[in-house]
Amino acid sequence: MRVTRITIFGILSISLFLNFTRAQKPVYLDVKQPIEKRVEQALSLMTLDEKVAMCHAQSKFSSKGVPRLGIPEVWTDDGPHGIREEVFWDKWSGAGWTNDSCTAFPALTSLAASFNPQMALLYGKTIGEEARYRNKNVLLGPGVNIYRTPLNGRNFEYMGEDPYLSSRIVVPYVQGVQQNGVAACVKHFALNNQEADRMSVDVEVSDRALHEIYLPAFKAAVEEGKAWAIMGSYNQFRGVHCCHNDLLLNKILKTDWKFDGVVISDWGGVHNTDQAVNNGLDLEMGTSTNGLTTDGTSPYSEYYLANPYLRGLKSGKYSESVLNDKVRRILRLIFRTTMSADHPFGKFVSPEHSEASRKIAEEGIVLLKNNKQFFPIPVGKYQKIAVIGENATRSLVIGGGSSSLKVAYEVSPLKGLIQKYGKDHITFSKGYASGENEYNKEVGSQQNADSLINAAVATAKDADVVLFIGGLNKNHFQDSEGADRKSMDLPFGQDKLIAALLKANKNVAVILLSGNAVSMPWVNEVPAIVQAWYLGSEAGNAIANVLSGEVNPSGKLPFSFPKKLDDNAAISFGQISYPGLDGKEEYKDDILVGYRWFDTKKITPLFAFGYGLSYTTFEYGKITTDKKLYTPDETVKVSFTLKNTGKVDGAEATQVYVSEPKATVMRPVKELKAFKKVFLKAGETQTIELEIKVKDMAFYNETTQSWTVEPGEFVLRNAASSNDVKSSVSIQIK
């Protein structure tokens, strides 16, 4: 007979094991339940410490989940044009992974220039697939801040000067991203219209301009796009930082628009625990950094929504119901993304993504001038094509701040042109040099400018045609986060270079790669000008396809090009209007932004909003409406014919503008209220049909704090651009 001896230690061990097992009974969150029930179930199981821990960062780009309950972390990622490389846990520098090189998509100015919501949906879908593959559940973009001045360093990240165009482009972008189980985080809410003094400048703007110009794209993203996240902006609005601004976040966003997603701070945009707790912020990121370059100096536990918040909750200073609202929103985001039962796997740097990037780029390229049909240049037409300019070879996906990318490949304009025309027909000279790209620092080139010009002139002299590829780049004081441009002029001596090239060869076309308007003292001397933006991985292929005529250009400008800087509305009112005086800035241009200013003040722009040429021609028919008298709750049905009167197939972004001639308040001469991109075969005619809701003709009434449609006459105009009206029709609102 065998006797088993059990010691007191053994009994104690068994008892502890059984108690531990009972204490660690697994918790199951039912994925089959509706999201709101899952949110409430998870919330009911969380401790106060776990709730607070979800409201602030744990690393540069992530925040905590609840491992005890199987709730994962939130992982965010820049940016709006591609999925940023992996960085170290607590550093901005790349972690050196070998499998995180992404597809670069065109900058959002290029997307807006397509005037095509279908391209926006394709863009959102493909970039969302790349984010999904990389296990990011929040994409920090798109940006929809209004183009107020051509000096803003981040204009290239946004969608132009018109709130209606931005609204129609942002909605499908958001929907495309989120169909992948990735949250779009629309930024920067709100009034972040410059980089100068961006962390502190206190903006004052009328309620009318706020609602008519600066908020519509955000509103559309929330109410129509159903965006799951919003990022606050760095600046102040009426004395309070926007990342914890009660009017913007609690009243407008969460109450008026019924936003049910997460408000995420910009990195380093939080300044006060009381305001962060009570004024609508949900998730604090990047505190103790300047937003881009400096490592944090305070531990994550000392963020404003970390231990200071927890201590205030335990002392009774803060309400737990406010905390619960924040946590509900974060849980809702997690259940919509990472813990969604049906999110797809995603894709990364696939052939389909390359094709999408190229197609979006091609549709955004704008032909500004084309005397004597300089373009297209078919393959075989010329024996010697001189390509001049640093931007023909410089990487334009690197730099610019948070939108900087590590890409799997990038086809430069020069490479694309060589592939198109053959290396025997292309000669290249750099022409100018911009220096190294360093964030927050201006670094000049050590190369001799005169030597570069002389070499370029020698290359151009014997060429059949010269393609100058210049513009801006992602250097500091160019198209870059952290600082605005110093002037509207082309940098690095490019105007001098163009003048020298024209003396050597009159057949010089200028191809500009930039996200901003530039001065053009040579505009009347060059036969052709192309605005080609920052086009991403497929830049060279897209440019070559358009210049050769394989693709007919169809982009239209999403912002006006002024002839000179002082013609810009914000600049014209002096320093108080831009960039601000003693930390204060008044938007004295009010609702007259972009073409609204040029039209109303009768100032002729260099190139107008909505302008863009084609290799074919279009004939507009007279605009008509389905009737003449409408009530405020009706929809106006607009129609007109469009004929391709040229010899090649092409697309035209038709536009309809609305005006109220005898309003009781000041109104712009006209405002864009509908557009449609139409593809026509050579000789083909289509009837274009558009709808405009009468309520969308309203102005924001500052007396009643609501939208008002006045009875009386309204005029609708079809147009090829804001200053190229084809016909008009009057209607009455009763």
Question: What are the catalytic residues?
Answer: 266
Q: Which of 190, 166, 177 is nearest to 82 (CA)?
A: 177
Place of tokens 């597809």: 103
Classified as helix, coil or strand, 685 is: strand
Task: Please tell me the distance from the alpha carbon of residue 201 to that of residue 199, in angstroms, as a whole number.
Answer: 6
Q: Which of 74, 149, 140 is nearest to 108 (CA)?
A: 140
Task: Please tell me the distance from the alpha carbon of residue 634 to that of residue 632, in angstroms, as a whole number.
Answer: 6
- The CA distances from residue 277 to 317, 321, 442, in Å, are 11, 11, 39
β-bridge mates for residue 48, sequence order = none
Residue 428 contacts by C-beta under 8 Å, 6 or more apart in sequence? Answer: 386, 387, 388, 392, 393, 414, 459
- The CA distances from residue 474 to 123, 197, 438, in Å, are 22, 19, 9
Residue 704 contacts by C-beta under 8 Å, 6 or more apart in sequence? Answer: none
DSSP alpha helix (H) spans, 465-607:
494-504, 539-548, 569-572, 595-601
Q: Which of 616, 544, 554 is nearest to 385 (CA)?
A: 544
Residue 615 contacts by C-beta under 8 Å, 6 or more apart in sequence? Answer: 367, 370, 373, 375, 376, 549, 552, 553, 646, 648, 650
Classified as helix, coil or strand, 711 is: coil
Instruction: Find out whether 198 and 234 touch, Cβ atoms under 8 Å.
Output: yes
Q: Which of 391, 467, 455 is nearest to 425 (CA)?
A: 467
Q: Which of 705, 103, 72, 694 is nearest to 360 (CA)?
A: 103
